[in-house]
């Protein structure tokens, strides 16, 4: 989606004067640097830099959110003494996240710029009582807003938190090219995508044994795609958005980046193998369904049996 918001770059001259803590910043932060130095902010920034390096974030493509722990939220609240930002009503309430704090990327912000200017491009939002509104309490300086995919991030945190007994904390949306390319030629079903990816690279069956969900092409950035994704995230921790990208969940930045990376690498291998095979998917050599079951048994993971043939 086109960037139109107040986030800014690092060395780009156009960003001059948008530094954190100046007039117009989102919050009065008595120790802004301390927030930037926290482990979770640094892990978040590192993932953004890694995703940019992978080529998954053209322009402002992609976004990231982190559901903060209670101690992390308390730490930030103790450092941020006031906020000038108003409460903003949410399209869809998320009662499960009432009172929670989340670190999110900004709408229209470039992943590429985040390491050089974190407080201009990412920010912490707190969810109000009842889960019907949010406000920025740190970062997103110069009036930037949270990602346009905030509805997807919030709804899916609620779903993944419940599905994992509170372990899931990270949601990552990227535009990895081979996953997107696959959506042109593979039937847009969870079964077809899961099988193609599992069979593209042996490791996949261990990394995402439930498979991946698939959302058909939809307009990005709203409640509809958020609802469709969250329905699938009851079961899967990664969901393909046709002709758009991938949405992945995990317990840590490492696990979530690793999931995105594994799926995209398998998709890349699949695309190359099809090209070498004249475009067809009837490969001379393939991992059998029995082979996939053996991986499950050997590594103690439970593959989604619905996607395996008898």
By CB under 5 A, which span of 64-72, 208-216, 244-252, 277-285 interacts with Zn ion? Answer: 244-252
The b/e string for 35-63 (b: 16+ C-beta within 10 A; e otherwise) is: bbebebbebbbebbeebbebebbeebbbb
* Least distance CB 39 / ligand 13P (angstroms): 24
Whichever of 123 and 245 has its CB closer to Zn ion, that residue is 245
x/- track of binding to Zn ion for residues 114-153 (CB under 5 A): ----------------------------------------
Q: Which residues are catalytic?
A: 149
Residue among 80, 107, 197, 267 that touches ligand 13P (CB under 6 A):
107
Residue 188, burial from CB neighbour count under 10 angstroms (0-12, 13-18, 19+) = middle
By CB under 5 A, which span of 36-44, 81-89, 121-129, 241-249 interacts with Zn ion? Answer: 241-249
Rounded CA separation 127/35 (Å): 19
- Across the chain, which distance is largest between two alpha carbons, in Å? 65
Both structure tokens of 104: 């999110």
Please count the other Cβ atoms lying within 10 Å of the Cβ belonging to residue 297: 10
* HSE toward the beta carbon, residue 60, CA cutoff 13 A: 21
Decide: is 221 part of the binding site for ligand 13P (CB under 6 A).
yes
Decide: is 62 part of the binding site for ligand 13P (CB under 6 A).
yes
Contact 251, 172 (CB under 8 A): no
Residues near 220 by beta carbon (within 8 Å), at least 6 away in sequence:
1, 148, 149, 241, 244
Q: State how beta strands 101-105 and 170-174 pair.
A: unpaired
147 binds, among Zn ion, ligand 13P, none (CB under 5 to 8 A by kind): ligand 13P
148 binds, among Zn ion, ligand 13P, none (CB under 5 to 8 A by kind): ligand 13P
By CB under 6 A, which span of 21-29, 89-97, 101-109, 191-199 interacts with ligand 13P? Answer: 101-109
Nearest to residue 251, comparing CAs of 178, 164, 179?
Answer: 164
* Least distance CB 1 / Zn ion (angstroms): 7
By CB under 6 A, which span of 146-154, 163-171, 250-258, 294-302 interacts with ligand 13P? Answer: 146-154
Residues that bind ligand 13P (CB under 6 A): 1, 3, 60-63, 105, 107-108, 147-149, 173, 220-221
């Amino acid at each position: 989606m086109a960037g139109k918001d107040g986030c800014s770059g690092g060395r780009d001259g156009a960003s001059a004067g948008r530094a954190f803590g100046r007039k117009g910043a989102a919050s009065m932060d008595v120790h802004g640097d301390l927030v930037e130095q926290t482990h979770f902010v640094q892990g978040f920034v590192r993932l953004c830099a890694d995703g940019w390096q992978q080529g998954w974030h053209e322009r402002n493509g992609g976004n990231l959110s982190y559901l903060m722990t209670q101690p992390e939220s308390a730490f930030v609240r103790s450092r941020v003494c006031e906020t000038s930002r108003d409460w903003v009503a949410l399209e869809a309430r998320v009662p499960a996240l009432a009172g929670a704090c989340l670190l999110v990327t900004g709408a229209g912000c470039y992943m590429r710029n985040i390491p050089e200017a974190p407080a201009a491009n990412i920010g912490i939002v707190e969810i109000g009582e009842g889960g019907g509104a949010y406000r920025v309490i740190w970062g997103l300086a110069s009036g930037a807003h949270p990602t346009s995919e905030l509805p997807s991030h919030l709804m899916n945190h609620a779903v993944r938190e419940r599905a994992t007994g509170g372990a899931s904390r990270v949601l990552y949306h990227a535009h990895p090219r081979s996953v997107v390319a696959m959506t042109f030629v593979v039937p847009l079903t969870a079964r077809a995508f899961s099988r193609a990816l599992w069979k593209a690279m042996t490791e996949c069956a261990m990394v995402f044994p439930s498979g991946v969900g698939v959302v058909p092409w939809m307009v990005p950035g709203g409640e509809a795609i958020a609802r469709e994704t969250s329905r699938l995230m009851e079961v899967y921790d990664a969901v393909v958005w046709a002709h758009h990208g991938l949405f992945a969940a995990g317990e840590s930045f490492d696990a979530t980046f690793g999931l995105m990376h594994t799926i995209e690498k398998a998709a890349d291998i699949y695309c190359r193998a099809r090209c070498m095979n004249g475009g067809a998917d009837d490969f001379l050599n393939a991992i059998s369904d029995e082979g996939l079951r053996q991986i499950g048994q050997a590594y103690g993971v439970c593959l989604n049996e619905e996607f395996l043939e008898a």
